[in-house]
Structure formats: C-alpha cells, structure tokens
C-alpha cells in the first residue's frame, strides 16, 4: 500500500497522548473486550433505536444499562471492506480491502487483534471472518487471533446450515446435507449454499462457542470478536433466504414469511446477546468487561427481505451498498457497568476505524504508526468535553460504478459514478436539518462542495 501521511493520523496520535487512559484507576484494571458484530442489521432494526415490530429486549436492556451512540458509522457499506477498516483502523481510502473481491490482508497490515495479543490478551474470533477472498485456512490466526471458529469465506457464510465450518485452520464437518456437492476448491470456500437436511444452525453454534470462550478465558484479559451472520440472507436460497429454524413469536403474524424470518433471526440473536451478558454476570466479569454491539453496514434487500416493511433504515436514506446514511450509519451500544454511564446517549461522530485506538488505549497497548482513528475512551466514559473529534470521515466503494462520501461536521457529500467521471458532480446535504438526505443543497454552497472534492481526492490512495 502506498504510504501517505494524513491530518487524521496526526490528530489521532495527539489524542492518544493527551487522553491516554483517562480516569482508569489501577483497581479498574484492563477490561475484557467483547465486540459483537451483526451482519446487515439496519439502524432502525432494534427497539432502542425505534423499531416497533421486531422484539429485542436483551439489546434494549443493554442500551438501558450502557450508552447508545446515534452517529456511529460502519467502515463501508458491504462486509469485507467494512471489516477491514474495523480490524486495521484505516478508512476505505487507505485500507487494503475495498470491496467484496479477491484480496487478502497482507503481513504488513496490523490488526487490532495483533495489538491486543501483544498486550497479553487472549484473542478469539467466532462467526464470520469474511475479510477478503479466498481466505486460506489459517488467515484468521495469522492476523492476530489465538482462536477461530466459523466461516472463512463471506460466500460460504450465506448458508446457515453449512456442511462444515472452520476451527483454527481445519474443517469441522457438520450434520447438514447440502443440496449438491459444492466446488470446494483448495480452501473449500465454495461449499453448496442450500441444505436439504438442516440440523445444525450455525448461529446457534457460534452462540454456544462464545460462552465457552468466555469460560475458558475468565481468569485473564480477553478480546472476543463475535461476528454473527444474522440477519444476512442466504442469497443462494432465492426468496426463502431468511434461514432460521423457526419463526418463534412471529409464527402467527400476518406477515410474509420472509419478514417473519427476518424478525425471528434478529430476536434469536437478541436472545443470545442476553445469554452472553448473563454469563459475564455469573462469572463475576460484568464490571470487568466492555461489550459493544453494532452492525457491519446498513439493512439489505436480499433473500426476500424488505427493509421498508420494518422501516429498517429509519429515519435514514439508502440501504446496503449505498453511501447515503442508511447504508453506513449503524447502531452501536456500549456496556461496561460502573464505567460507561447507564442509560446514556452519545451523539459523538465516530466510525469503525476508531475501534483500534480505543481498544489499544483501554488495554495499554502500543498503537501502530498509521491509523485514521481517534480513541473514543472519553466518550465511552461519559466525558464528552474531553473527547477529541474528527475533522472529517471518508468512505469509498468501488462497486456499482464507484462511490465516495465525506462527512465534515453536519455536512455530508456524496459522489456516484466515480469510475465514469472521477470529477463528477457532488451531492451535498446538511445532516442537522436533513438527516434523511432528501434535499441536495450543493448549488447553494459551492465553497463547501469544492472543499469536499478536495477531501475525496486527498483521502483516496491507489493500491498497487
């Protein structure tokens, strides 16, 4: 990757020096960190964010016991690049992986797991890896995780009843029978996407494995990256792609089956978030553990799902694959009893690339030289007046003709059709007065448009 200095990196370094370990007394020690990542969950899919139909009591309780962030952003608008930005602390103009294509992290890419592992943390990833394609069997472990159980490939992860999963580089056969034999290739990443005999639901296996990981590591600091696939669709199953063992409490609702499945998936995940929090309490780890819940991008319209049915992106415009707010603004809830103020709300503007400096600061770990992130520790601890703020946030997405977006203060700029015209027109929105991005005011603010165009040009660094 081309080396490039940037003002954000400088700001982040200053922020880390000035705000290092604010008010974390020795008694508090270094917290365990659990980062729960849902897949394609919309900003409006949770009760605590306004959802009326889908029941999420455990996550809503988590918000009541912690902090709800209203302006937190994913790394990208689809899974692989979003996860890359999360893990490496780099926005999409600098990150290695910028789409769901054939790319992998390289040895020089430093991940948050590597940083925490060096600081003495046990590190585990359970669920969907999905960072580049095709990932070799040991890809997760070579990027800083002591333990991995789940899907390597984002494409295999479409299937909730797979014939196998991976554990630490080895295939683990499951008691599911695929519709036809997949062309597994060298890494087995093309396993058949639909099962004719469905016995072992992958999400349930991940939930159980997460509890076991916590139990095994209860006596030392740990980092658990729990990457649920819910509510992603099984794209190979057509309009029956919302795969779930049963519709649960939605069985008798007068809804299309696809929407029953969507709701049932989210409520099932909610149940398991509740089980995880209960496990921490039972082990006496409640006040020693920071738990964050979020999503990798906005809601999808796949497998028969209809984001309008549940108003999944409310009150935002756009869904997955868009750089409008609905495609990249995601729910984020942080819970750490005694440290994160209960029942609080933060309007701090933040993004996935802030997780690396945040976790490094909490762990007392050494940061890599390059990051686009700023530690959010002051915001998490309810000290908004001490929180360093971003001058801007930047995204790019190189599918669907190419797109770019910048947020600076309340201003949001979006450019589409970048491959056809890299200097094409820019849309401009004021998120304070127009959070739904309904009124393009670019013609009224040519100076701001020019500034946003400069940002887009400066923040994009070509990959080799």
Gap between the Cα atoms of 220 and 288, Å rounded:
11
Gap between the Cα atoms of 55 and 36, Å rounded:
18
Predicted confidence at residue 185, as pLDDT, reads 44
Domains belonging to the chain, first-starting first, are 7-391 (3.40.720.10), 400-464 (3.30.1120.10)
Q: Which of these, 100, 91, 73, 59, lies nearest to 316 by C-alpha position? A: 73
Other residues' Cβ atoms within 10 Å of the Cβ of residue 10:
10
**What is the edge-to-edge ordering of all strands in the sheet holding 393-397?**
393-397, 403-408, 411-416, 427-430
CA distances to 7, 69, 149, 164, 185 from 226, rounded to whole Å, are 32, 19, 10, 19, 27
Question: Tokens 């580049």 sit at which residue?
Answer: 132
Q: What is the pLDDT along the chain (464 residues), one digit of tens a residue?
A: 333 334 444 334 433 433 344 455 443 589 999 999 999 999 999 999 999 999 999 999 999 999 999 999 999 999 999 999 999 999 999 999 998 888 899 999 999 999 999 999 999 999 999 998 889 999 999 999 999 999 999 989 999 999 999 999 999 999 999 986 545 444 444 545 789 999 999 999 999 999 999 999 999 999 999 999 999 999 888 888 999 999 999 999 999 999 999 999 999 999 999 999 999 999 999 999 999 999 999 999 999 999 999 999 989 999 999 999 999 999 999 999 999 999 999 999 999 999 999 999 999 999 988 999 999 999 999 999 999 999 999 999 988 999 999 999 999 999 999 999 999 999 999 999 999 999 999 999 999 999 999 999 999 999 87
User: Are the beta carbons of 388 and 19 closer than 8 angstroms?
Assistant: yes
CA terminus-to-terminus distance, the chain: 6
Predicted confidence at residue 240, as pLDDT, reads 87
Predicted confidence at residue 279, as pLDDT, reads 98
Predicted confidence at residue 267, as pLDDT, reads 98
Gap between the Cα atoms of 254 and 240, Å rounded:
17
Tokens for 113, please give them: 């797991």
Other residues' Cβ atoms within 10 Å of the Cβ of residue 255:
17
Burial class for 430, CB neighbours closer than 10 Å (0-12, 13-18, 19+): middle
The pTM of this model reads: 0.93
- Angle between helices 355-363 and 7-18 in degrees, nearest 10: 20
Predicted confidence at residue 400, as pLDDT, reads 92
* DSSP string for residues in 247-280: -GGGTTSSS-HHHHHHHHHHHHHHHHHHHHHHHH
């Amino acid at each position: 990757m081309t080396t490039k200095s940037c003002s954000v990196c400088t700001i982040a370094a200053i922020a880390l020096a000035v705000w290092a370990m604010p008010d974390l007394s020795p008694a508090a020690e270094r917290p365990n960190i659990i980062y729960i990542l849902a897949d394609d969950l919309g900003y409006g899919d949770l009760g605590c964010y306004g959802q009326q139909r889908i029941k999420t009591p455990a996550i809503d309780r988590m918000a009541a016991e912690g902090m709800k962030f209203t302006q937190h952003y994913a790394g990208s608008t689809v899974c692989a690049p979003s996860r890359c930005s999360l893990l490496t602390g780099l926005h999409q103009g600098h990150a290695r992986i910028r789409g769901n294509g054939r790319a992998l992290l390289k040895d020089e890419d430093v991940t948050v797991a590597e940083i925490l592992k060096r600081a003495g943390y046990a590190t585990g990833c359970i669920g969907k890896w999905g960072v580049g394609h095709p990932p070799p069997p040991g890809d997760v472990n070579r990027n800083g995780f002591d333990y991995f159980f789940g899907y390597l490939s984002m494409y295999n992860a479409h299937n909730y009843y797979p014939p196998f999963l991976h554990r630490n580089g080895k295939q683990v056969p499951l008691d599911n029978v695929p519709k036809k034999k997949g062309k597994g290739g060298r890494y087995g990443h093309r396993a058949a996407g639909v099962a004719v005999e469905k016995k072992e639901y992958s999400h349930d296996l991940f939930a159980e494995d997460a509890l076991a990981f916590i139990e095994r590591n209860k006596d030392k600091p740990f980092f658990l990256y729990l990457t649920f696939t819910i509510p992603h669709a099984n794209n190979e199953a057509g309009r029956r792609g919302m795969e779930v063992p049963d519709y649960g409490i939605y069985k008798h609702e007068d809804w299309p089956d696809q929407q029953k499945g969507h709701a049932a998936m989210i409520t099932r995940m909610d149940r398991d978030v509740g089980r995880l929090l209960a496990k921490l309490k039972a082990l006496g780890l409640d006040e020693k553990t920071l738990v964050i819940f979020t999503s990798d991008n906005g809601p999808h319209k796949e497998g028969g799902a209809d984001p309008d049915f549940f108003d999944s992106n409310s009150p935002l415009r756009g869904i997955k694959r868009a750089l409008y707010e609905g495609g990249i603004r995601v729910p984020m809830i942080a819970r750490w009893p005694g440290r994160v103020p209960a029942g609080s709300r933060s309007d701090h503007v933040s993004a996935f690339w802030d997780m690396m400096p945040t976790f490094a600061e909490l762990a007392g770990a050494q940061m890599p030289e390059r990051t686009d992130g700023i530690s959010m520790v002051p915001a998490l601890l309810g000290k908004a007046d001490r929180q360093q703020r971003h001058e801007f946030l930047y995204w790019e997405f190189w599918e669907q003709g190419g797109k770019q977006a910048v947020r600076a203060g309340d201003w949001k700029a979006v450019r589409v059709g970048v491959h056809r015209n890299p200097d094409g027109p820019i849309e401009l929105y004021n998120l304070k007065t127009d959070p739904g991005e309904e009124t393009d005011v670019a013609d009224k603010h040519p100076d701001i448009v020019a500034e946003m165009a400069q940002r887009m040009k400066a923040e994009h660094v070509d990959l080799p």
